[in-house]
Amino acid sequence: MFNNTDIAKLILRLSTGVLILFHGIYKVIHGIGGVKVMLSNAGLPEFFSYGVYLGEVVAPIFIILGLYARVASMVLGANMLMAIFLSYGFSFSLAKYGGLTIESPLLFLIMSILIVLLGSGKYSVNNK
């Protein structure tokens, strides 16, 4: 009864996709000016900022549907690595209440790695 890995994969995909999609929707509504500033401060071209839409809007939709979820999770993972680098500089310092400052993007990175390793499962468009 409690050994249904396909349900676990579905929950992992849905939670990852839906939670990161909120970040993408925010950027669609309010723009990516902050990302452009962080990229230019890091010496990178501003046009890279449009990758945020791929990583936080398109990839989560694919992850939710289970459509090429492994590839979409690799895109999300790359997006989270860039977010960690640009926002925190890979600093493992503690936040005000004891957690890591990079905790949220790190969790999304770990979740995307898990989807890459586990696949989308039976309850997906690709059905693998």
Where helices occur in the chain by DSSP H, the ranges are: 5-30, 33-41, 51-53, 59-65, 69-88, 103-118
pLDDT at 1: 64
Q: What are the Cα distances from residue 70, in Å, to 81, 83, 118?
A: 16, 20, 8
Confidence of residue 57 (pLDDT cuts 50, 70, 90): very high
Is 128's pLDDT higher than 70? no
Q: Where in the chain are the domains? A: 5-118
